[in-house]
Amino acid sequence: MTPDAAISVTDLHVWRGEAHILHGVSLTVPRHQVTALMGRNGVGKTTLLLAIMGLLPATGSIRMADTELVGMPTHRVAQRGIGYVPEDREVFGGLTVAENLRLAERPGSDPRYDHVFELFPDLQGRLGQVAGTLSGGQQQMLSLARALLEPRAVLLIDEPTKGLAPIVVEHVVAALQRATEDTTVLLVEQNLWVAEQLATDVIVLDHGTVTYTGGMRSLVDDPALAGRHLGVEVR
């Protein structure tokens, strides 16, 4: 394990039902920076986050500091300081915004409501609103706010801009830029522009294995490389 790695994954295999999704993935998530996890649809990016959270059974190793996370119950993984912002937000639609946030408080801690409301002022005025009636962008902010309410060692963020209108995307990206300063983040992102704004490094997955690891800039500046790994035309 490299000394500056927040999380290191070694030879991880994950199945969903009978489908073998991750075939021996090994990667490290560097400390105090944003790392983008990219690749085509269905290559296992979300699966990797779910496995780290203990929401899918896995074999292999996921280490955080000196702790092995494989086999650990989800709530214990979260208690280790991993914040999770899932794909599709997964806010509790029948609960109010305030209740959604209260669930994220750790008993006996000092939740950072000021910090969260500074990032997402929209939420402060809607504390009594039922989360299911929020717009997609507001739900995304609530989902991020839940993860940011307590200080976290690592944030796992899954496609925060998926399905949002371009203006909202810019707003979310701006908030994320401020929120993730000096924080360890593993960010799943399909949108290259968003990844470029936020991430320092990038890891590309394909067919359940890692095909590229390196700086975000070098990927973006080399259209051939980006095209090969992401199957996209860059600009």
Partner 1 sequence: MSSFVLYTITGLGLAGLYFLLASGLSLIFGLMSVLNLAQGAFFAVGGFAAWMVMDLLGDVPLDLRFVLAVIVAGGAGAAVGTVVERGFVSRIYGSHVRQILLTLGLGTAGVALLGGWFGWDPRILQQPAWFVQTTQIAGANIPNSRLLILAVAVVLFLALMVFLTRTRHGLIIRAGVENPSMVRALGIDVGRSFTIVFALGGALAGIGGALGAVYFNGISPGLGTDQLIYAFIVVVIGGLGSVPGTAVAAVIVALTQVYANNYLQAGLGSISVVVLLAVVLLIRPQGLMGRVRP
Partner 2 sequence: MSRRSAVFVGIVGLLAVVPFLPFGIPILFSGSLDSAGTLQVLAVGLVFAALAMSYDILFGSTGLLSFGHALPFALGSYGTNLLMIHAGLPYPIAIVVAVASSVLIAVVVGALALRTVGVAFAMVTLAVAEAFSLLVLTDPLRILGGEEGLPLATAQVPALFRGVVNLPNVYWLALALAVATFLIGRRVVSSRAGRVFAAIRENEPRVEMMGLRPFPFKLASFVTASTLAALAGSVYLLVVRGSNVGITTPDFTLAIVVMVVLGGAGRLWGAALGGLVYGILTLRLAAVATSETIDALPHWLSGPLSEPLFILGVLFILFVLFAPGGLSSLRPRITRRPRRGPMDGDPMSPGTTA
Interacting residues with partner 1 (CB under 8 A): 53-55, 73-75, 78-79, 84, 86, 90, 92-95, 99, 102-104, 106-107, 146
* Nearest distance from C-beta of residue 86 to partner 2, angstroms: 10
Binding test (CB under 8 A) with partner 2, winner from 10, 13, 15, 16: 16
Binding test (CB under 8 A) with partner 2, winner from 12, 34, 50, 147: 50
For the chain, where are the E strands, in sequence order?
Answer: 5-16, 19-30, 34-38, 58-64, 67-68, 82-85, 154-158, 184-188, 201-206, 209-215
Does residue 72 bind partner 2 (CB under 8 A)? no
- Cβ proximity to partner 2: between 15 and 113 the closer is 15
- Cβ proximity to partner 1: between 3 and 108 the closer is 108
Q: Which residues contact 192 (CB under 8 A, 6 or more apart)?
A: 38, 220, 226, 230, 232, 234
Of 148, 158, 215, the C-alpha closest to 178 is 148
16, interface contact from partner 2, partner 1, none, CB < 5-8 Å by kind: partner 2
- Cβ proximity to partner 1: between 103 and 165 the closer is 103
Q: From CA 97, how far away is CA 86, in angstroms rounded?
A: 17
Amino acid (one-letter) located at 106: R
> Rounded to a whole number, what is the distance in angstroms from the first to the last CA of the chain?
36
* Nearest distance from C-beta of residue 149 to partner 1, angstroms: 9
Binding test (CB under 8 A) with partner 2, winner from 2, 3, 18, 235: 18
Does residue 55 bind partner 2 (CB under 8 A)? yes
* Nearest distance from C-beta of residue 197 to partner 1, angstroms: 26
* Angle value at C-alpha 157, between 37 and 42, nearest 5 degrees: 50
Neighbour count for residue 198 (Cβ, 10 Å):
22
79, interface contact from partner 1, partner 2, none, CB < 5-8 Å by kind: partner 1
- Cβ proximity to partner 1: between 95 and 168 the closer is 95
* Nearest distance from C-beta of residue 16 to partner 2, angstroms: 7
Q: Are 208 and 21 in contact, with CB atoms under 8 Å apart?
A: yes
